[in-house]
Amino acid sequence: MRLQMNARRFLIILFPMLLVGAIAVGYKVRQLSCRRLTEIRQEEIVRQSEELMRSYLQGDVDHARECLQKNARLLEEATVLEPIGRALLLHLTYFHLYVLEKRVGNEAAAEAALIKAQYWVLKKAELMGVNVEKAMQDIRDFTGERIFEYIDDLDRRHNNGKEPAYIRDLREKGNVVPEQGDAAGADK
């Protein structure tokens, strides 16, 4: 009888500890599962963004524009991404869109893309703790010519040394609007 009472007390004491332990393990597993699901979503968004950018490099003007606009929408909605990385991807996407729209002479769309790119440059600087005066000076220093040079270089690095197909297409049709001298896309 005494043995049964001790066993009962032991179980009464042990049960809450086992319950708390089980809850803690369940919480940790759920936490790890949520973290993994977040990582999977992030990887999928980055994969889709990279696919859109590869497609941008291969398409005509309309296709390239569509890819950039889809990429911008994807990234704007991708709040699951790390904020600084998201801001970087967005400002690059909008700089690409700015260059494309300038090349085809669509000034209003180019200006809108530039404003959005500048916003995301400023947002990235803010997230990194950069002084606002320095961030604004960096934005002012990034002239249209520098943006063209930067984006053209980036595109060539991601396209085996070649310019995007939309530029070749525009040149063949004689529709390239020169921007900042040779920055309109002539191969160097």
**Per-residue pLDDT tens for 23-54?**
666 656 566 678 889 999 999 999 999 999 99
pLDDT at 184: 39
**Res 181 pLDDT > 80:** no
pTM of the model: 0.77
Q: What is the mean pLDDT of residues 156-182?
A: 81
Residue 11 φ/ψ, nearest 5 degrees: -65, -40
Q: How many CB atoms lie within 10 A of CB 45?
A: 18
- Contact between 82 and 68 under an 8 Å Cβ cutoff? The reply is no
Domain of 147, in residue numbers: 2-184
pLDDT (tens digit per residue) in 88-135 = 999 999 999 999 999 999 999 999 999 999 999 999 999 999 999 999
| Residue 91 vs residue 181, higher pLDDT | 91
Number of domains in the chain: 1
